[in-house]
Amino acid sequence: MAVQPRARTIVLTLCSALLASTAATLPARAEAPAAPAPHTTWEVRGPHGSPTAVVSLDPADGSPALAVRRAGRTVLEPSPVGLVTEQADFSRDLTLTGRSDRTISERYTVPTGKSHKRVVRMTESRFRFRTADGARIDLLTRVAADGVAYRYVLPDDHGDVVREASAFTFPATAEPVISAYRKDNELPFVRYESAAAVPAGTYSMQALFKTGGGYALVAESDLTGSYAGSHLTHTAGSPTFGVSPWNDEPVQVSGKLTTPWRAVVTGDLSTVTESTFTDDLAPKSRVRDTSWIKPGPALWTWLAGGKEAGQSLEAQKKYVDYAAERDWPYEVVDAGWYYKPGEWDVIDPDWQTNNWMPELVRYGKERGVEIQVWLHYSLLVDPVEREKWLSTLERWGVKGVKIDFMDSESQERMAWYDEILPATAKHHLMVNFHGSTIPKGIQRTWPHVMTLEGVGGEEKRNNTPEQLAALPYTRNVIGSMDFTPGAFHRPFRPNVGSDAGELGLTVLYESGIQNLAGTPESYEARPEARRYLEQLPTGWEETRLLTGDPGRSAVMARRAPDGRWFIGGTFAGAARSVDVPMRLGAGTWLVETVTDGPSGLVRAPHVVRGGASLTVPVVADGGFAALACHWYPGRTSCDR
């Protein structure tokens, strides 16, 4: 029988009462927690074979992070990104408001570096974030075949940057080769068994890590006076390395801000070592006419002749004569030339009119040798004094300046670089910076920068064989390095028992002006070294890592414009024979090795098929040099 409406109402009421009564008698159950929202992630993929950048926001606090994978394996764990300014915190409580992508394809040429011609292909993604208060920040990310980079863009003024949240978190098993930080970037690199084993402290922004996903070199690019140079900070036992601007000082900001690139050069060891990623990230050249920019080897007279040579026209003429005989295009006159005779800290007030430098320049030109000179940076701080020095040197015919003792990466000092770079370009003066920052893309934007120190070079006394074998994978990856090799007469060099190893450094280390630091007497006592150095080209068309292990060994081949390959190798440890793959190309090659023999340097020819290995003997903590050219029947030498 159908239930009438009134009866249905009574039944429902009784059921409701019964359920309520039952619920009241049951023990209370805790409400099931809501499942946490998954991390929101976005991938950035580059050309085929590139690493993948993964940008994410933590749903718990809205903090952004960036990770890097290659071939499904971890290069960089999710690592904090973000900034904190005086007026806004861009390290947490962020919301993504948009994303845009584009492809970057460029070709450019540079007079210095691992190669003259460069091809760039990257994917760029701009992630637009907003804080709860409406402040905006863009995270600009780029991915290329050899690296991942990011930078911050603040479209509005939010005051000075108080700190960066940026950090690099590596897998716990990552093996670092890292250098403690100092203002001149000259401390040695040390290899550790794991990232967590690195002592607490500050470290240079040029640290190499071996990870399960390949090698990763932390670097920086496009640093100007709008920001300060940065270094890494580390807490003992942690696999994370934070990023901190100079001296942890606030970065002064007025208006919009675009920070330098934070970069991870990554791939196998060859990819990292041969990479030009930090140059590729930098702005295009600001020098239109580059015809006056000419790299090449130079005879550097500081270690060869000391202070006395710096104040002697006759001594400098003898060095010019020796450079001319070797066909070296430059001679570099170091400190002393503008001081009062016999004094080393007093500038001659009549240096413009009572100076022998114009005579030396004339003497050199007659013999095909151009002159470069040393200057203390303090002479170039005041705009009026700067113009006086640079215009005078240009009028005399000096071709380059070696500027020394900046010894800072503060925002103020980086602003000075912004002033000196266009000023030297205006006066057609090539530049070698000493006591300086490291390249960070500067040589693409300002191609008249031939080289920078930022390394404990040949004149220092604290180098080790391990340091020689670390530099090709760290400092020299990111730009020209003025190590000043070739000082055979120096008793303090770490490979003092291997003249062949010292000779190999002139190729192993790339520098737009390769300042050769030996004495004429030391070269004459080593005719095979002299013969090799006489053939050094003015630049390189291609660079290849043949074999190596960071901090233990390195063998590099560099192709000259005439098609010949110059090879340099260094090894830390016991004497041994090493097998070096000749990855020079197809065909048959004549390889002339220069090694250490019982009575001096020994040159020996070898005929090798491309891709085959050549066995080379090296002495303890030594190395070798070699020259390779295409072989044909009857050819016994690679001499040009």
Amino acid 414: pLDDT: 98
Instruction: Find the CATH number of the domain harbouring 368.
Output: 3.20.20.70
The answer to whether residue 305 sits within a structural domain is yes
The answer to whether residue 11 sits within a structural domain is no
The answer to whether residue 354 sits within a structural domain is yes
Domain that holds residue 253: 40-281
- Is residue 49 over pLDDT 60? yes
The answer to whether residue 275 sits within a structural domain is yes
Do 308 and 269 sit in the same domain of this protein?
A: no
Do 432 and 546 sit in the same domain of this protein?
A: no
The answer to whether residue 8 sits within a structural domain is no
Distances (CA, A) of 147 to 143, 279, 444: 6, 12, 17
**Which of the four pLDDT bands, split at 50, 70 and 90, describes residue 39?**
low
What is the average pLDDT across 474-489?
98
Intra-chain end-to-end CA distance of the chain, in Å: 115
Amino acid 306: pLDDT: 83
Amino acid 411: pLDDT: 98
The answer to whether residue 24 sits within a structural domain is no
The answer to whether residue 581 sits within a structural domain is yes
Instruction: Find the CATH number of the domain harbouring 229.
Output: 2.70.98.10
DSSP H helices, 295-356, are 302-310, 313-326
Query: Is 248 an active-site residue?
Result: no
Query: Is 156 an active-site residue?
Result: no
Among 229, 251, 281, give the residue marking a domain's end. Answer: 281
CA angle 82, 85, 91 (to 5 degrees): 25
CB distance 536 to 514 below 8 Å: yes
| pLDDT tens digit sequence for 561-600 | 999 999 999 999 999 999 999 999 999 999 999 999 999 9
Tokens, residue 331: 């001679």
The answer to whether residue 19 sits within a structural domain is no
Three-class secondary structure of residue 206 per DSSP: coil
Where does residue 231 fall: left (phi above 0), alpha (psi -120 to 50 degrees), or beta otherwise?
A: beta
Tokens, residue 422: 């266009």
Do 553 and 406 sit in the same domain of this protein?
A: no
Do 258 and 332 sit in the same domain of this protein?
A: no
Do 584 and 640 sit in the same domain of this protein?
A: yes
**How many angstroms separate the CA atoms of 139 and 22, rounded?**
57
**Which of the four pLDDT bands, split at 50, 70 and 90, describes residue 8?**
very low
Active-site position among 404, 466, 482, 510: 404
Do 330 and 402 sit in the same domain of this protein?
A: yes
Among 281, 311, 343, give the residue marking a domain's end. Answer: 281
Among 281, 316, 342, give the residue marking a domain's end. Answer: 281
**How many angstroms separate the CA atoms of 341 and 11, rounded?**
117
Do 499 and 410 sit in the same domain of this protein?
A: no
Question: SS in 3 state form for 502-526?
Answer: HHHHHHHCCCCEEEECCCHHHHHCC
- Is residue 24 over pLDDT 80? no
102 phi, psi to nearest 5 deg: -155, 160
Instruction: Find the CATH number of the domain harbouring 587.
Output: 2.60.40.1180
Amino acid 308: pLDDT: 86
Tokens, residue 204: 């240079």
Amino acid 368: pLDDT: 98
Tokens, residue 269: 């060891």
Do 144 and 210 sit in the same domain of this protein?
A: yes
- Is residue 11 over pLDDT 60? no
Do 392 and 430 sit in the same domain of this protein?
A: yes
| pLDDT tens digit sequence for 243-290 | 999 999 999 999 999 999 999 999 999 999 999 999 999 999 999 999
119 phi, psi to nearest 5 deg: -125, 130
Do 329 and 405 sit in the same domain of this protein?
A: yes
Nearest to 406 by CA among 375, 371, 449, 382: 375
538 phi, psi to nearest 5 deg: -90, -10
What is the average pLDDT across 120-147?
98
CB distance 320 to 369 below 8 Å: yes
Tokens, residue 481: 């390095």
Do 100 and 135 sit in the same domain of this protein?
A: yes
- Is residue 334 over pLDDT 70? yes
Active-site position among 124, 157, 348, 459: 459
- Is residue 510 over pLDDT 70? yes
| pLDDT tens digit sequence for 203-228 | 999 999 999 999 999 999 999 999 99
- Is residue 3 over pLDDT 90? no
**How many angstroms separate the CA atoms of 231 and 190, rounded?**
16
Sort 586 into a burial class: Cβ within 10 Å, 0-12 / 13-18 / 19+. exposed
Single-letter amino acid code for the residue at 256: K
Do 397 and 474 sit in the same domain of this protein?
A: no
- Is residue 1 over pLDDT 90? no
Sign of the torsion angle spanned by Cα atoms 314, 316, 320, 326: positive
Q: How many domains does the chain have?
A: 3
